[in-house]
Amino acid sequence: MEFTFDNNIPIYIQLLEYMKIYLISGVFKCGEKLPSVREFANTFKVNPNTMQKALAELESMNLIYTERTNGKFVTKDEKIIEKLKDEYAITLAKSYFQGMKRIGLSKADSIKYLEGIDG
């Protein structure tokens, strides 16, 4: 997969977003060992220091943790991941309704549209 980065936004913030999606969607599961900073940097084709910064941020959000000699792991607490997923879903839903409102559709109408689409 090719990753694209918008030069207008700090790269570590974009990495953080990619990583959050990985965690929410279960690419890396609860308690699973993560690749090294170096491996991640190679995959995303970014500077290892920038990758490190993104992982440190994930760690401060308790989404991942470091075992001193073994490397980094996804949190064992499924609730944290669920909460993140919930937040993402709400943001996506809000932006959908906002878009529909802009073209003059009520919430009820917007939901009808949703039901008419195959997911």
Partner 1 sequence: MDNMELLEVKNLNKSFDNKEILKDINFSISGGKIVGLLGKNGAGKTTLIKLINDLLTPTSGEILVNGNKIGVESKRVISYLPEKTYLNKQMKVSEVINYFKDFYENFDSDKAQKLLKDLDLDINQHLSKMSKGMQEKVQLVLVMSRNADLYILDEPLGGVDPATRDYILDTILSNFNENASVLISTHLISDIERILDEVIFIDKGKIVLQSDADKLRNKEKSSIDEIFRRMFKNVN
Q: Under the rule (CB under 8 A), what is the footprint of partner 1?
A: 5, 7-13, 41-42, 45-50, 53
CB of 11 to partner 1, least distance (A): 6
- Give me the residue label for tokens 């607490």: 77
CB of 39 to partner 1, least distance (A): 11
Beta strands in the chain (DSSP E): 64-67, 71-74
Cα–Cα dist 54/110, whole Å: 36
Report the residue number, 9 or 61, with the smaller CB distance to partner 1: 9
Cα–Cα dist 31/104, whole Å: 45
State the Rg of the chain over Cα.
18
CB of 15 to partner 1, least distance (A): 10
Q: Are 85 and 24 in contact (CB under 8 A)?
A: yes
Report the residue number, 50 or 75, with the smaller CB distance to partner 1: 50
Report the residue number, 17 or 82, with the smaller CB distance to partner 1: 17
Report the residue number, 34 or 41, with the smaller CB distance to partner 1: 41
CB of 96 to partner 1, least distance (A): 26
Cα 79 to the chain's mean position, in Å? 15
